[in-house]
Copies of this chain bind each other. A is one copy, B any other.
Amino acid sequence: MAGKYYNLDSMLKPKSVAIIGASQSPEKVGHIIMQNYFNVGYSGYIYPVNVGGDDTILGRKAYKSVLDIKKPIDLAVIAIPAKFVPQALDECGKAKVKSVVIVSSGFSEVGDTALQEQIVSIAKKYGLPVLGPNCLGVMDLRSRVDTLFLPTFKIDKPSIGGVSFASQSGAVGSAVLDLISHENFGLSKFISYGNAAVIDEADILNYLAHDPDTKVIIFYIEGVKRGKEFIEVAKEATKLKPVIIIKGGITPAGTSAAHSHTASLAGSYAAYEAVFEQFGFIQAKSLDDMLYFAKIFEAQPLTTKKRVAIITNGGGVGVLAADSLYLNGLEMAELSEEAKKSLRKVMPPIVNMSMPMDMAGDADDKRFGAAIDVLSKDENVDALMIISLFQTPGADSRVAATIIKYGTENKKPIVVVSPGGNYAEVHNNMMESSGVPVYPSPEDAAKSLAALVKYSEYRERMGSLDAKDKNNKKSKRDNK
């Protein structure tokens, strides 16, 4: 598909960056962006550009135009008022800049389609990949590129990992970025693409589908510029890796809101749902679900089988878990006689061998470890749901460590349910940072497991489910 879709390497792994609109004034977007590059330890060249004519900006020699730089520029970030953008972009083209991010707003989203058309024709003239306008730009934790101009103390920085996130909306983007860190999974790339004047959904999906650092794609879209191309790319992408989509504007109310937001044609709910289903997208119906799904796909192996074993240190939550398996189309595992015999030896007499297995409130790391060990090996079990209530006397950091040991083996998908406050959270962070997905309720865990199974089935139907996907050590740890 070469030639049809933009390659974004120069934008996401630039060796040199020009910041057009860089400034000595700390409140200016261009200043914040430039400071960001220093803060994250970007090791390439940075060239501040400002028509004002300062000699230096933030200690670096400043230029009046990119044309004055006379060195190769991989990425130019444009952060100046909308009306000056066309000229700056044209100069980027002349200077043979390889890619451009326009963060400025004031284009089609406020009704000025003429100004946006100008951008498009300049980009086409030079064959220039242009992101935006009206966007936050890009962030890549590995190459230390960061064009975001949001106050850094307000957003927790995610760790490096395998999830890439693309968002039409900058607001959804910044909130989700913050949530990714909160949920302790690892980010590969963040792409906020705003009005999608030049680079659109199809380009981004195509790039991320072939990006080796991206294991999971999450995508907030309101509309799609090139429907045919998007589907063409999607067919290939969803065979390679999970693509989780949340669609803004799926109802009449939302569609009209989306239209006034980015002036994109939002399309009908039914049409989108059918497309999602047909082409193997994983549809998230809320922000929560999007994050919950990303968490399991980043760290756990795929499986088309759905017999789930539940172990718990609290009976009632086990009951809710049994309900939630059923409601999500999963099955409760029936242990093999051999597994029951092994468990009988290590469990106290009070523990019943039927599922969900209630190991009682005093279950400690030894009891959890013995149970998980047996169930991991039982051929009647395809996936494990481990309910660890850290409010109980037996559950502590050793239980978390035991779960991590098995939860990162990637033989069978393992999900953990751990609702609670501060004490639980310390342990949830511990497990999640190691690549074990933790959920606040059995319902969330079951929904995520069901999404994993459904996507695995799609991959199997498409003939693209390899043994390595089912038993693949693809935790964050490998990506560091």
Contacts and interface: CB of A to CB of B under 8 A. Distances in A.
Interface of A: 110, 150-151, 153-156, 167-179, 181-182, 220, 222, 246, 248-254, 256-258, 260-262, 285-288, 312-320, 322-327, 332, 350, 352, 354-356, 358, 361, 389-393, 419-424, 440-444
Contact of A319 (B170, B257, B322): B257
B253 A169 contact: no
A220 B316 contact: yes
Contacts of A258: 319
Contact of A172 (B168, B320, B332): B320
A286 B154 contact: no
Nearest to A314: B171
A240 to B, nearest CB: 27
Q: Which of A173, A252, A440 has the most CB of B within 10 A?
A: A440
Contacts of A250: 323
Contacts of A285: 443
Given A154-B391, A421-B156, A314 B222 contact: no
Given A175-B391, A252-B326, A260-B354, 17 more contacts: A151-B391, A154-B390, A154-B424, A155-B423, A156-B422, A169-B319, A170-B316, A172-B317, A174-B391, A175-B389, A175-B420, A178-B419, A249-B323, A253-B325, A253-B326, A287-B441, A288-B444
Contacts of A316: 167-173, 220, 222, 248, 261
Contacts of A391: 150-151, 154-155, 171, 174-175, 177-178
Nearest to A320: B248
A423 to B, nearest CB: 5
A182 B420 CA distance: 7
Contacts of A318: 257, 261
Contacts of A175: 314, 317, 389, 391, 419-420
Given A175-B420, A391-B175, A254 B322 contact: yes
Nearest to A172: B316
A354 B260 CA distance: 9
A333 to B, nearest CB: 11
A178 B262 CA distance: 42
A172 B314 contact: yes
A457 to B, nearest CB: 21
A261 B358 CA distance: 8
Nearest to A423: B154
Nearest to A220: B316
A153 B169 CA distance: 41
A169 B360 CA distance: 12
B260 A352 contact: yes
A421 B322 contact: no
A253 B332 contact: yes
A393 B251 CA distance: 30
Contacts of A317: 169, 171-172, 175
